[in-house]
Amino acid sequence: MGHILDIRCIIIYKETNRATLEGVTLYTVPPKKMLALNILAILREYTDSEHRLSQKQIVDLLESEYQMQVDRKSIKRNLMNLIDSGYDIEFTETVRQTKNGESETICSDWYINRDFEDSELRLLIDSLLFSNHIPTSHCRQLIDKLKGLSNRYFNTRVKHVHSLPEVKSTNRQLFYSIDILDESISREKQVRFNYGTYDIDGKLHPRLNPEGEIKEYIIDPYQMVAVNGRYYLICRYDPYDQLVYYRIDRILNIKVLETPVKPLRKLPGLSDGLDLPKHMAEHIYMFSGDSTTVCFRVTRSALVHVFDWFGDDVRFSNINDETVEAIVCVNEQAMLYWALQFNEHIEVLSPPSLKVKLLAAATSMTEKYR
């Protein structure tokens, strides 16, 4: 917590320790007690394991950016104080002979270790870029915060984020909804909300009931998950006793209620709780309903898609050089959509009910495009 306060002090100092005269920004002379914080700010902005600073370079940056004139001994003393305070600062020690023939230890190549590697920050930023459930403005803000965890050299390598297209969710209540859901799940309380749908104006509008009034949903929230670039809520829609799923970016006007949720273990088939990885593998498109065993023949060249969607929980049989039969446990409606998507690579063998649905879908499509 102390480290967070230090960084806030640096930000406040850099914003307030200036005066403006006839359009020219003038910096006042900072107090000596700010020296350690300014050195820390320089290390954070200019250094990493590949970019290191000598004490002389730190002296020059203090003068150019903070108008502080200090000697190298003061720099070293404050750097050591920062290390003693718990900051992960690295440096190189070399021993040299003075003119008097005595040994002297020189400390150089100073840099600060960071909580995140640049590759890790890139992975997080790319995850935001490819997500579809975060509004563009919020996505930009999050990316800027992630960029702030590195230094100026990292920022030059992520310029592509400025071309972020305006195609993401427009629901500005998303982060508020996530906070409320997190609270309600922790407290095991129901929530009430409206659920939106898009119209031709491209805006999110609350669903209406048969009477033309805005429909209210009262649900028991159990878990939030990210699937296919979307954020979903796994819950029970009161008074029904089965799991349903709602897109969190389409939830509007959410409010925590004081009524308790029905425990997940009291729902049919969930007496042992929710095995989330297994549940997600069976609900690849987040459709409600029970799972069933599906057998399908798939070309071996398309097995990558099978593992991408169903994970490792797949059984194989009747293997030859060209095809293999795969058995998975999956929601039947979800499997219908998946089979249509990968139709050229697979053939559903069972259950019969799914084959009937696929035939009906194929017949309908043939009639439309005949």
- 96: domain CATH number is 1.10.10
Residue 283 is assigned to a structural domain of this protein: no
Whether residue 257 sits in one domain with residue 195:
yes
pTM beyond cutoff 0.85: no
pLDDT at 45 over 80: yes
Whether residue 150 sits in one domain with residue 231:
no
How many domains does the structure of the chain reveal? 4
**The domain spanning residue 348 has which CATH number?**
3.30.70
| Separation of first and last alpha carbons in the chain | 67
Q: Which of 112, 130, 151 is the last residue of a domain?
A: 112
Residue 357 is assigned to a structural domain of this protein: yes
Q: Order across the sheet with 315-317: list the strands.
A: 315-317, 323-331, 291-299, 346-350
pLDDT-wise least confident of 169-178, 180-189, 312-321: 169-178
Higher pLDDT, 184 or 280: 184
Residue 284 is assigned to a structural domain of this protein: no
Whether residue 99 sits in one domain with residue 15:
yes
Task: Specify the amino acid at residue 351.
Answer: P
H-helix or E-strand spanning residue 304: helix 303-310
Could you give the maximum distance between any two Cα atoms of the chain, in Å?
98
Residue 82 is assigned to a structural domain of this protein: yes
Is the CB of residue 338 less than 8 Å from the CB of residue 309?
A: yes
Whether residue 254 sits in one domain with residue 298:
no
C-alpha 245/C-alpha 228 separation (Å) is 14
Residue 12 is assigned to a structural domain of this protein: yes
Whether residue 24 sits in one domain with residue 86:
yes
Whether residue 147 sits in one domain with residue 219:
no
Whether residue 128 sits in one domain with residue 222:
no
What range defines the domain where residue 92 resides? 2-112
Give the pLDDT of residue 322.
92
**Share above pLDDT 70 across residues of the chain, in percent, rounded to a whole number:** 83
Task: Specify the amino acid at residue 257.
Answer: L
Higher pLDDT, 156 or 27: 156
C-alpha 156/C-alpha 260 separation (Å) is 50
Higher pLDDT, 349 or 4: 349
Give the pLDDT of residue 229.
67
Whether residue 98 sits in one domain with residue 178:
no
Whole-number average pLDDT of the chain: 82
C-alpha 69/C-alpha 71 separation (Å) is 7
**pLDDT of 286-308, one tens digit each?**
777 778 999 999 999 889 888 87
**pLDDT of 201-252, one tens digit each?**
767 889 999 999 999 999 999 988 877 667 789 999 888 888 888 988 889 9
Neighbours of 225 (CB within 10 A): 16
Higher pLDDT, 282 or 143: 143
Residue 266 is assigned to a structural domain of this protein: yes
Residue 281 is assigned to a structural domain of this protein: no
